[in-house]
Chain A
């Protein structure tokens, strides 16, 4: 579904990501781990095609098509959807209105909002005065309306209270068709700093972003356990990561 080939990304002339290679097959969910400031969000923004994230070299291939230089709205229309970590407030635009604008399946906004305990917010200005958890639910609600094939989530669990983490987990599982065991048509790339979301959403693979690149990859549970135990700084000297890098070089 998604191929990143030697992707190098800069912002205002400064290289943030270098030679990123990533393959996400249809039906798969990948977790992206990494320290604050390691470039996780930049990678998602570059995949989405947000303007200031410039692809210096390499390619982004989505469903076999090179989308490296495609504007964000075309990527969205082709089925890529993103949950922003810090979305802007849009005054005067009601949550209900944005759902009507982006809704592809003609689903009732009320019904979708009910799934996220969010019906009371439908007549509110988008993100205006929302708490951290409310922002997450507003973002997921828009994704439910958009129903993308490739779901990019930026720290979906951060700032969410215990009551709502289940609600959010359910919405993500729905987006990624986790109830299906075969013929799953969706794929996901989920940023997590804490790995907490793994308790609610099963993932196929995990990768660690460090030194501006995919530094290590493997079983997401094993990776997060190692990170929890030793911290991200240990990743830089870990043998496993070095083997992974060597393996990449050989390729």
Chain B
């Protein structure tokens, strides 16, 4: 047994630090398998639900596509030179060196979920931008849950080689709003010197899905990683806490999260950044809206060397009912000369703002909707227009269910 396997075996019952514990025995790893298909001919998924998660099966305005349904990879192809898109399994076969990148940033024995991702490995995606390559359009990756009570355990590797630029949009969806299942996704990102990656994840899960992503990012000198996370649909239980390690001079990371928790949804979303190189920069922005569900918005920034700069902002709004938002910002400065700050606010919708807009001729309902739309809107620098459209579209859809 390999060392990794042994560690995974030992962590099989290890409860995660955050989020409600999940009995993995309730979810099977045996799902029907599907053959590979061309992008325009995929017929086992609900196209509209995918589109709402930012995945366009026409492949229009995309630099490549990856589609996985339960444990089957249906499609994995790039459409732009310099960009590689394939299944993790295939990439591991093709590139012997890739083993070095696996379980390098995320520890296999983090908890029972990482352990399962190793012991019941069901593929995942490998996306790589070759040195100097710049993706014109985003690469889209879709992880789709179709079978009932299935656990999808994927391991993704993303590499942006020196001087490259990569946009990735990951859409996660279920076959129906009633589907029950578990998604475990390990993702390891390598942002090399002066490379830039924007990673936008739109979750379109359903009320009976549990989600446990485990992500880490290593950013080298001059590298930039922008993470946009959008979850606006009901989800039974979601817990994620991506960690960024800024190891090169001037490395930059930004985490933008837009979260909505309807009644019955439990979201525990955080991000961590360890700034261990001079001039490293970090910004975390979270907008959390509860219409009756629970949101924990965590953030941890660790400043290890002089001259780093980091700022965190969390705005929470509880619209009505029994909603709860727990903002937990943490700053850990380990030396003199770090510049770190945070601001957090949790409140209800301000009556003063509603009345201001009513004085401009908006009904109370229109005023509330306008304020909420504004609240959920985050200016994201450097976001390609197509991604901005997808995020705006996701917000619009959530509004329809709100009002």
B355 at interface by CB-CB < 8 Å: yes
Which residue on chain B has the smallest CB distance to residue A79?
Answer: B361
- Report the interface size class on chain A: 20 to 34
A92 lies within 8 A of chain B by Cβ:
yes
Shortest beta-carbon distance, B33 to chain A, in Å? Answer: 44
Residue from A50, A90, A91, A92 in contact with B359 in the complex, judged by beta carbons closer than 8 Å: A50
**Residue A231 lies at the interface, judged by CB distance under 8 Å to chain B:** no
What chain B residues lie within 8 Å of A49 (beta carbons)? 359
- Interface presence of A72 (CB below 8 A): yes
A98 to B360, CA, bound (A): 9
The answer on a CB contact under 8 Å between A125 and B355 is no
- Nearest CB to that of A87 among chain B residues? B356
* Chain B CB within 8 A of A2 CB: no
Q: How far is the CA of A146 from the CA of B366 in the complex (A)?
A: 17
Chain B residues within 8 Å of A102, by CB: 360-362
- In the complex, chain A residues whose CB is within 8 Å of the CB of B358: 71-73, 76
**Could you say which of A92, A125, A142 contacts B360, with CB atoms under 8 Å apart?**
A142
Judge whether A101 and B374 touch: CB under 8 Å: no
Instruction: Indicate if the CB atoms of B374 and A73 lie closer than 8 Å.
Output: no
Complex Cα spacing A11 to B295, Å: 36
- For chain B, residues 204 to 257, give those with C-beta under 8 angstroms from any C-beta of chain A: none
Q: Cβ of A88 < 8 Å from any Cβ of B? A: yes
Could you tell me if B360 and A51 are in contact, using CB atoms closer than 8 angstroms? Answer: no
Q: Which residue from B352, B360, B377 sits with its C-beta under 8 Å from A76?
A: B360
* Contact call B351/A90, Cβ cutoff below 8 A: no
CA gap between A82 and B375 in the complex, in Å: 24
A92 touches B355 (CB 8 A): no
Is the pair A92, B375 in contact by a Cβ cutoff of 8 Å? yes
Contact indicator B373/A88 (Cβ below 8 Å): no
**Whose C-beta in chain A lies nearest to the C-beta of B287?**
A92
Given contacts A91-B315, A101-B370, A125-B374, contact A73 B363 (CB under 8 A): yes
Contact, CB under 8 Å: B370 / A93: yes
Whole-angstrom CA separation of A76 from B351 in the bound complex:
18
**Contact, CB under 8 Å: A84 / B375:** no
Q: Are A91 and B356 in contact (CB under 8 A)?
A: no
Would you call B21 an interface residue if the criterion is a C-beta within 8 Å of the partner chain's C-beta atoms?
no
Considering the complex, which residues of chain A in the window 97-123 have a beta carbon less than 8 Å from any beta carbon of chain B? 98, 101-102
> Is B346's CB within 8 Å of the partner chain A?
no
Instruction: Give Cα A222 to B84, complex, Å.
Output: 80
Q: Is the interface of A mostly helix, strand, loop or mixed?
A: mixed
Cα A88 to Cα B357 with chains together (Å): 10
- Supposing A72-B359, A76-B359, A93-B371 touch, asked if A88 and B352 sit within 8 A by C-beta, the answer is yes
Do the beta carbons of A92 and B373 come within 8 Å of each other?
yes
Tell me, yes or no, whether A48 is within 8 Å of chain B by CB. Answer: yes
Instruction: Report which residue of B353, B355, B361, B370 has the largest number of chain A beta carbons within 10 angstroms of its beta carbon.
Output: B361
A-B pair number, CB within 8 angstroms: 66
With A51-B355, A88-B350 as known contacts, state yes or no: A101 contacts B373, CB within 8 Å. Answer: no
In angstroms, how far is the closest chain B Cβ from the Cβ of A126? Answer: 8
A77 CB within 8 Å of chain B: yes
Q: Which residues of A contact B362 (CB under 8 A)?
A: 73, 101-102
Q: For the complex, is B376 an interface residue (Cβ under 8 Å from A)?
A: yes
Instruction: Give CA–CA (A48, B370) in the complex, Å.
Output: 20
B residues less than 8 Å from A92 (CB atoms): 373-378
Closest to B371 in A: A90
Given contacts A50-B359, A90-B371, A92-B376, contact A73 B364 (CB under 8 A): yes
Chain A nearest Cβ from B375, distance in angstroms: 6
Please measure, in the bound complex, the distance between the C-alpha atom of A48 and the C-alpha atom of B362, giving whole angstroms.
13
Residues of chain A within 8 A of B360, CB atoms compared = 73, 76, 98, 101-102, 142, 146
- Known A-B contacts A50-B355, A51-B355, A72-B355; A90 and B361 likewise in contact (beta carbons under 8 Å): no
Contact for B353 among A72, A90, A142, CB less than 8 A? A90
Find the B residue at minimum CB distance from A51.
B355
- Which B residues touch A146, using CB under 8 A? 360-361
Enumerate chain A residues within 8 angstroms of B357, measured Cβ to Cβ.
90, 98
> With A51-B355, A84-B356 known to touch, is A91 a contact of B361 (CB < 8 Å)?
no
| A92, closest chain B residue (CB) | B374
Whether A51 and B359, one on each chain, are in contact in the complex, defined by CB atoms closer than 8 angstroms, is no
Q: Are A90 and B376 in contact (CB under 8 A)?
A: no
**What residues of chain A lie closer than 8 Å to B371, measured between beta carbons?**
90, 93
Contacting residues, chain A, for B370 (C-beta < 8 A): 90, 93, 101
Q: Report the 5 A-B pairs with minimum CB-CB distance, sorted nearest first.
A: A92-B374, A92-B377, A76-B361, A93-B374, A72-B358
A-B residue pairs in contact (CB < 8 Å), sample of 20: A48-B359, A49-B359, A51-B351, A51-B355, A71-B358, A72-B355, A72-B359, A73-B363, A75-B359, A76-B358, A76-B360, A77-B361, A82-B359, A90-B374, A91-B315, A92-B374, A93-B373, A93-B374, A98-B360, A102-B360
- 12 additional A-B residue pairs with CB within 8 Å, beyond A76-B360, A93-B374: A51-B355, A73-B361, A88-B350, A88-B356, A90-B356, A91-B374, A92-B377, A98-B360, A101-B370, A102-B361, A125-B374, A146-B360
